[in-house]
């Protein structure tokens, strides 16, 4: 594979600095964040302790096989990377967002997941003003 190909793949990833990766960071958002619900998702938002917005995912098994779980994670991660993060950057919002799909989210198309997250984003995030 050429070096140019790997650079393009890197551009399509969420940089590590924009992800909630540690268990302690995720627990902090769960504890101090405000939970909102959409039809298929639970979303927590909280002011970020760092100077940028960050996102995280918790995808429970709910009895699904690993392939289904990974597919749902990839779909949500792509929506966060291409839709949510650019809007947060445009607003210069320094918030942490944690998304946890509910059992029913495994059965819906990506288009519907995208619409739910964008509707949530348009409603605003009360924790950012705290």
The H or E element that residue 71 is part of is helix 66-79
Give the CATH number, domain containing residue 113. 3.30.230.10
> Contact at 8 Å (CB) between 59 and 114?
no
What's the number of domains the chain is made of? 1
Residue 45 resides in a domain: yes
31 against 123, higher pLDDT: 31
pLDDT above 70 for 129: no
Residue 4 resides in a domain: no
Q: What is the pLDDT of residues 58-115, one digit of tens each?
A: 999 989 999 999 999 999 999 999 999 999 888 887 899 999 999 999 999 999 999 9
The closest of 49, 38, 54, 50 to 97, measured between CA atoms, is 54
Entry pTM: 0.83
> Contact at 8 Å (CB) between 120 and 101?
no
> Contact at 8 Å (CB) between 97 and 43?
yes
């Amino acid at each position: 594979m050429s070096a140019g190909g790997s650079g393009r793949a890197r551009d399509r990833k969420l940089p590590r600095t924009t992800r909630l990766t540690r268990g302690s960071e995720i627990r902090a958002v769960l504890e101090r964040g405000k939970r909102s619900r959409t039809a298929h998702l639970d979303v927590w938002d909280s002011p970020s302790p760092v100077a940028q917005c960050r996102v995280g995912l918790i995808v429970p098994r709910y009895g699904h096989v690993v392939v289904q779980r990974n597919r749902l994670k990839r779909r949500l991660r792509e929506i966060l990377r291409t839709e949510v993060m650019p809007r947060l950057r445009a607003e210069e919002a320094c918030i942490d967002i944690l998304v946890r799909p509910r059992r029913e989210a495994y059965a819906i198309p990506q288009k519907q997941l995208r619409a739910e997250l964008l509707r949530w984003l348009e409603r605003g995030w009360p924790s950012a003003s705290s």
